[in-house]
Structure 1
């Protein structure tokens, strides 16, 4: 913005200077030429009177001295003729005399008692008749080179250009100072906005300089950002405290329920197991909500991650549990290379998607992890699949399919979507060929060997390592998945 303001000020200054200096220079040039023409005409008239008097008295020998003295003083060229057009004197030492030039237009007009004044590109010319009354005794031609006149015109143009340059320099200095003063609050506001987008405002915008409107805007932004930080801090503190305060009573409640088992009638054991299961689901739900709150209220920057290495690591982690359920994990497609992702996010995404696939996969089925060009990963199962309506609502919090019979919380896929979006990608659900579901995760590939924060990196998004610690408590891992029993129910 500083550059645009500076260019606008300079453009306006150039327009004003051009509107003033160009007409001024043109008027001065025309005036110089007019003054030179009048001077030549006046000198030619005076010399014509002197030479006419000498011709009348027959004093022809004095003519060369008269014209030579004038030419020496002024630099002009003087030619004198008699009434027949024969050259009597020429100020040019190499000029010829006694030649007939009466046929030349200006001499012919002067012999008819008609003076001629002409302005050319190279010379000014004035031809005057030497007469007494109506008697023509000769003519005089005075030519003056335009070099000196042009030099004066060029000097004035140069002076005007120099003055304009000095004025532009002064205007540029003043405009730059003014533009910096105007835009300083905007620069600090931009930096503060970037900091706030990254999750923390450490340097509030300057509200002490600049125009009153920008100072007011900076002050309003600072107040709004401070209020927002206070709200986020309070929410973060609530999540941290609630995580501890809710975990203890829920654990105690589960233990108390389990302690009832020896004292209950065997017919009540089923209800007791259901109650314990509900307590466990409530515990996971609370921790899932706390994890989402932390994910949404913090920020970090995506980094280059080897997608193929993550896939190989997670497949190795899940193979044993899949084998227990007689399910095969298969990796297909070409290597995807590096992608942009929040550190640790891809592991959580794959754990949740593979766990969901295992829940619905019958014995003997295959879960395919297929990689396609463009850093796209597909987790394809051979379960019953989902209807189009269910796929549209699958990412809603707490939503579970109507025919679901497992103890999920309905937070797994919302957490997955949040992690994928935080990494700059997209996740969609599609029907798999035949039956089952295809969970497609599209990520941004790292191109050109860019490093973290380089060109092409996604912007910072609301996820931090703080959220991952709590996310791990509710994210599905092979050990937890085995404890929850993945053979029954639908997706979380």
Structure 2
């Protein structure tokens, strides 16, 4: 915006300067040409009187000396002819209109000489044989109506054009100085106008990252922008307060619910010996629902921790993490008669926030094991471009379900497991916080492919992310891992 304001100010100043200096230069050039023409015509008139007297008195031998002295002092060229147009003398000084004309040459056919012999004055600009322009004044040498000869006085136009060019140059330099001054003032003014916008942009970036550390400057700039900065600060402060209150409520509520849920489960289990055997099935279902509610509270706590603490991604060895998590999950997979396989070339290091990669793999493996039939294979494939594919051979998901799988608490209508709908949202949050992307695709031959794309380790990224809570899984379950989320995220 600063550049556009600066260009607009300079464009306006350039239009004003052009509107003033071009007419001024044109008027000066016209005036200089007119003054020069009048001066040449006046000199020619005086010389015509002197030469007419010499011709009348028969002193034509003195003409070369008279006109030669003038030509030497002024730089012009003078030609004198008699009443028949025969050249009597030619100063030839400066060669203003070509080489000197020899005495005795007949010039009566030339238009200006012919007009002067008819007692008419001619002042004109013409091009000489050398190609330059000259100003020519041709006057009759006469007494009354008696014409005894004629005189032509010529000057090179460079005498005028050099002065005009110097004036144009001076005007151009003056315009450049004015433009430089306008540019300096305009740059200062533009920076002053846009300073609140720059601070507002920085504040917006900080707010988008999750925390407004430097509110926009509301003390400088135009009143409208100061008012905008004040309104933005007020809105951002209230928004941060509301987000903090929401996160605090979710964390506090989830934490407070854990203890009564644990006590409720223990009390229900203690009822079993005293219940009629026919009620045991209902009791088991109730305990399962309490356990699912506990996992949901656990997932809410994990999300609250993810959203409330910021950190930056670090280089993590993807191959080492994959090998570690596969070794941890193999016993549980073997209990379900599911084989774990790792394929693809080593991926090397990727950017991930601390502990995120372990939780991503744990959640995806837990989801896949939930739906993998006995005798199937669960594959962790490393693809080029630091991608990790978790491929199962389960029933898969419809395109509509894959679109909604990352929504919180969402579960497919045909879901028969006790998922909470928080596992895949946690995975997506961890992946995005690490600067990556996760998508779901149909696997060839049936099943589902969870494709996690991460960035290869390079220069540390500047973007802030959320720091997760980390813990090692125990048979596929961690404090921040919510297994069994295939149909509900």
Q: What's the TM-score bracket when you normalise by the shorter of the two chains?
A: 0.7 to 0.9
In the alignment, which of 367, 374, 397 is matched to residue 363 of structure 1?
374
Q: What is the match of residue 333 of structure 2?
A: 322
- Once the two structures are overlaid, the 10-residue window that deviates more, 214-223 or 19-28, is 19-28
Assess if the C-alpha contact under 8 Å between 1:310 and 1:347 holds in 2.
yes
Check conservation: 1:239, 1:294, Cα contact below 8 A.
no
Could you give the per-residue CA deviations for residues 467-490 of structure 1, whole angstroms, max 9, x where no partner exists?
x22xx57x9753528xx9989997
For residues 53 and 474 of structure 2, what CA distance do their matches in structure 1 show?
Answer: 126
Conserved 8 A contact 2:268-2:283: yes
Distance in 1 between residues matched to 2:35 and 2:75, nearest whole Å: 16
Is residue 124–residue 146 contact of structure 1 (8 Å, CA) maintained in 2?
A: yes
The answer to whether the 8 Å contact 1:384/1:436 transfers is yes
CA offset digits 1:178-236 (Å, max 9, x no partner): 10111011011011111111211121111111111111111110000010111122223
TM (norm. structure 1) is 0.85
Pair 1:73 & 2:73 matched: yes
For the residue of structure 1 that corresponds to 2:477, the secondary structure is: helix
Deviates more, 1:79-88 or 1:334-343: 334-343
Instruction: Give the aligned partner of residue 32 of structure 1.
Output: 32
Picking from 97, 103, 106, the partner of 1:98 is 103
CA distance in 2, matches of 1:52, 1:231: 107
- Please give the secondary structure, in 1, of the residue aligned with 2:139: strand
CA distance in 1, matches of 2:213, 2:226: 18
Map 1:337-376 onto structure 2 (within 5 A).
Answer: 339=350, 341-376=352-387
Q: Using a 3 Å threshold, how does the CA distance of structure 1 residues 80 and 303 change in structure 2: closer, same or farther? A: farther
Do the aligned residues in 1 keep the contact of 2:477 with 2:483 (CA within 8 Å)?
A: no
Structure-to-structure mapping, 1:192-203, within 5 angstroms: 192-203=203-214
Report the Cα offset of residue 107 of structure 1.
2.8
Match of 1:177 in 2: 188
2:136 counterpart of 1:125: yes
Report how many residues are paired: 476
The match for 1:478 is: 475
Secondary structure of the equivalent of 2:149? strand
Matched, 1:453 2:473: no
Residue 232 of structure 2 is aligned to residue 218 of structure 1: no
CA RMSD of aligned residues (A): 3.3
- From 463, 466, 489, give the equivalent of 1:464: 466
Q: How far 1:312 sits from its partner (Å)? A: 3.1
For structure 1, the 5+ residue unaligned runs are none
Which shows bigger deviation, 279-288 or 222-231? 279-288
Secondary structure of residue in 2 paired with 1:480: coil
Q: Does 1:190 align with 2:201?
A: yes
**SS class of match (1:44):** helix
**Cα distance between partner residues in 2 of 1:240 and 1:490:** 25
Q: Could you tell me whether the CA contact under 8 Å between 2:420 and 2:488 is conserved in 1?
A: no
Matches within 5 A, 1:265-414: 272-296=283-307, 305-336=316-347, 339=350, 341-388=352-399, 390-402=401-413, 404-414=415-425
Residue 163 of structure 1: aligned partner: 174
Cα separation, 2, equivalents of 1:487 and 1:179: 58
